[in-house]
A = this chain, B = another copy of it.
Amino acid sequence: MKNIILASQSPRRKELLALAGYDFQVITSNVDEVITMEKPDEIAKSLSSQKAEDVFNIIMDRYGNNHIEDYVVIGADTVVSVDGELLGKPKDKEDAVRMIRLIQGRKHQVFTGVTLVSMAEGKPASISFHECTEVDVYPMADEEIASYVNCESVLKTNSDLQTEVHYDWADKAGGYGIQGTFARYIKGINGDYYNVVGLPIAHLHQELKNIV
């Protein structure tokens, strides 16, 4: 049984990997992600592989060659594509409005690339795959878009004395979260739901069965 390392700080990816029944640790990469590809599936796979390989090297440095056989690292990256245009995380509220205007009333694609790195026959070996989920969004009036992007949720910080305002769109590619209040605008999807949340856990489980 290998130790699973998740190379992602995303709270949603942590939740999903736990939901799928895995025990794991989180070690994050500080690599400067470089986009060298053009197609969204290739970009997502390439970014997932940069993160996973960087963390695999960190583990190799930390635990040495004798123990590296005991580890498998999972990297993941999610990108949203609408009419060939890639949407990342919104820069600000105006940018979130722009993105939601682009995706409302039609279908777009969400790509998550996943890379697993572990030792095979004495050498580091990578497996990369992606899942694409098509998401169909109901038409939204301007007031509905404004109401979504302005909705603040208040997070308590650790001290319990300070609070922090959080916007649902703030940390999400495409400017929406399928698992939050935006759910009421999601007409339907074609593909893996959890791929849209950030990690295609069913496909990942099939791959992990062969390694772990």
Contacts and interface: CB of A to CB of B under 8 A. Distances in A.
A19 B180 CA distance: 6
Contacts of A178: 193
Nearest to A186: B202
B188 A21 contact: no
13 contacts: A19-B180, A20-B181, A21-B184, A133-B188, A138-B202, A183-B202, A185-B205, A187-B203, A188-B202, A189-B189, A189-B190, A189-B191, A193-B193
A167 interface: no
Interface of A: 16, 19-21, 131, 133, 138, 178, 180-181, 183-194, 201-203, 205-206
Most chain B CB within 10 A, of A185, A188, A205, is at A188
Given A19-B181, A181-B19, A191 B192 contact: no
Contacts of A193: 178, 186, 189, 193
A190 B192 contact: no
A20 B180 CA distance: 8
A63 to B, nearest CB: 28
A183 to B, nearest CB: 6
Given A188-B190, A188-B191, A192-B188, A138 B183 contact: no
B202 A192 contact: no
Nearest to A204: B184
Contacts of A183: 16, 19-20, 194, 201-202
Contacts of A202: 138, 183-188
A174 B3 CA distance: 34
B184 A192 contact: no
Contacts of A187: 192, 202-203
